[in-house]
Amino acid sequence: MCGIFGIVKEHEGPLGETLVGAARRLAYRGYDSVGCATIDASGKIDLRKDVGKIDEVNERLNFNEMRGQRGIVQLRWATFGSPSQENAQPHLDSDGDLVGVHNGNIVNHVSLRDRFLAEGMTVRSANDGESIVHAVEHYVDRGETMVDAIRAAAQDLQGDYALIIASNDVTGSDGALHAVKSGSGLVVGIADGATCVSSDLPSILPITNKIIRLQDGEMVSLWPDRIELRRLSDGEIIEREPEVFTEGMEAAEKGGYAHFMEKEIHEQPKAAAELIHWLSASPFVPQFLDALSSARHLYFVGCGTSYHACMIGAAYFNRIANIPASPVLAPQFTETLAPILTSDDAVVFVSQSGETKDVLNALKVVRPTGAKILGVLNVIGSALMHLSDHYLPLACGYEISVPATKTFLNQVVLFLYLADKLRVHGAKIDWDEIPEIIERTLVSTKEVAREAANILNPYDEMYYLGYGLTLGVAMEGALKLKEITYAHCEGMLSSEFKHGPLSAVHDGYPILFVTAPDDAAMMVNHINEVACRGGRPIAIACEDGLLRKHVREYIPLPDVGQEIATLVAVLPLQLISYHMSIERGIDPDFPRNLSKTLTVD
């Protein structure tokens, strides 16, 4: 997830070190390229950028020596356009008079780019961030002031983003930095003789703790001694007093949450919205769909959480798109299925990190068979990205906590989105509604998930049961519980329970059933097998009178159909694990013995 920072100082002087310091503070968000621009008192712009980590790019380009009165730095996490020097930010307008950066996605950038080219502008990259600069250029060229040009440009830019832009004009009211918040975070800092603006607090706090948080639909202009906050829609000035931030740096990085896991759970509506925006505008999606729909057989291959997403993805493709698809654990795929592949098959390799050795081993044995290699990954620039014939990003930004949460949800969102595009059964999904349904589920299950965690917490071994589409969800919930509570939890098919594990049931023994609406009647049979032996069934399901009658506790999902209920059912399971982990005094972000990226066999 990109990060942006800008600063305006009273006197021209060394700015490079300040920008590098801010970039280091933004680095935890994840990035693959970095760039700085400074503007001196005469309006001269110095722009340096490249692919790589801050310190190595700094060593090559010497950001530290950059001087000026205004400065901008951007860390880019590639989504539109590969990680490259030309796609790195900041970007200039056609004549090099404006310089700007953004964070987020400009989803209509392909059509905007065509428009800019038709207007004779110089477009230098494939990156959507360049569109913000040309969108402003368009209005500046027609004689608008920077403020009015930015307000007008914001009407042309679609997507969730925040931007910072400046002109080399140092006359009149300019000599300012301007920033817009439209969906992505933006905070202003007010110091003595300087003001600054950033994607988030960690890069501002070493400079000042006097901050103003922007709301969506607002823009701010910054000078060394004052700021002007206004509404984008009508230009009306907004008065807002700065607040004094008293918490420490770690709290700032966690955005007010106690742990990264909690933060990442709550980022899911936003992460899904960004992915859906991206998918709807990406030229890579049609290529990916072609490869999927022309395959004789699809295999979904991954490990751990990514494998559970594969289980749900394959089931979506079978049921929705009528395409034969099988989920397989990566090492098992290497040993049993890879040898029988042909060039008519396609394999979807799924990995948050894109570096999991088990997954890369499987990929290596697929290459000689001629089967299509498709990648789904979160980390841009990873080995999986480079080794795939086609890849799609999960667009989640950096996931710090070891337990995967937002990347799992976005894996499932992505598979449902692709299956929906190839749909032959059932009604199309309204994708605009999905982020709100995710948000609603988080809000409505919050308390009841905490109560369920209290019920489960005294037990050190338990079962989560799913059926059909929800089997992968139950298994993912069980993995999350094992990972961060150190309890044993088995996720399995509810109909298999009677074939052995039923003997574990005793008085009061809790068992969690994850159910999608069409399976409620079948699930009631499986619930009864447990209930009549003294077990304590807990259901996660959309509202269903029959189910409710047969369980002790009910965690209700919004009233959505089979496919979307499967997608959101994982949210209360993530919350249950999180609460139990805290109750047990475990740090959920860094559970013992585990690592975020497993590059070993």
Binding site for ligand AGP (CB under 6 A): 303-306, 351-353, 356, 359, 402-404, 483, 597-598
Closest distance of CB 244 from ligand AGP, Å:
37
Q: Where are the alpha helices (DSSP H) in 486-569?
A: 520-531, 545-550, 562-568
| Complex with ligand AGP: residue 131 or 351, whichever CB lies closer | 351
Helix (H, G, I), strand (E, B) or coil at 461: strand
Closest distance of CB 375 from ligand AGP, Å:
11
Residue 540 and residue 565: Cα distance in Å, rounded? 10
Closest distance of CB 117 from ligand AGP, Å:
38
| Complex with ligand AGP: residue 403 or 435, whichever CB lies closer | 403
Closest distance of CB 537 from ligand AGP, Å:
26
Closest distance of CB 304 from ligand AGP, Å:
2
Report how many helices (DSSP H) and strands (DSSP E) the chain contains, helices first.
20, 24
Residue 410 and residue 396: Cα distance in Å, rounded? 7
Give 595-600's long-range contacts (Cβ < 8 A, gap of 24+): 595/402, 596/353, 596/399, 596/400, 596/402, 597/353, 597/355, 597/356, 598/303, 598/353, 598/356, 598/357, 598/358, 599/355, 599/356, 599/357, 600/357
| Complex with ligand AGP: residue 69 or 577, whichever CB lies closer | 577
Residue sitting closest to ligand AGP (CB): 304
Do 76 and 380 touch, CB atoms closer than 8 A? no
Q: How many residues does the chain have?
A: 601
Which of 53, 210, 482, 596 is an active site residue? 596
Which of 2, 36, 489, 542 is an active site residue? 2
Closest distance of CB 571 from ligand AGP, Å:
15
Q: Does the annotation count 596 as an active-site position?
A: yes
| Complex with ligand AGP: residue 351 or 445, whichever CB lies closer | 351
Do 475 and 431 touch, CB atoms closer than 8 A? no
| Complex with ligand AGP: residue 297 or 596, whichever CB lies closer | 596
Do 158 and 106 touch, CB atoms closer than 8 A? yes
Do 557 and 565 touch, CB atoms closer than 8 A? yes
Do 43 and 168 touch, CB atoms closer than 8 A? yes
- Order of strands, sheet of 177-182, starting from the edge strand that comes earlier in the sequence: 91-92, 98-104, 161-167, 177-182, 218-223, 226-231
| Complex with ligand AGP: residue 356 or 445, whichever CB lies closer | 356
Do 166 and 222 touch, CB atoms closer than 8 A? no
| Complex with ligand AGP: residue 186 or 303, whichever CB lies closer | 303
Closest distance of CB 477 from ligand AGP, Å:
11
Question: Which run of H or E residues covers position 455?
Answer: helix 434-456
Residue 354 and residue 372: Cα distance in Å, rounded? 17
Peptide bond into 339 cis (omega under 30): no
As annotated, the active-site residues are: 2, 596
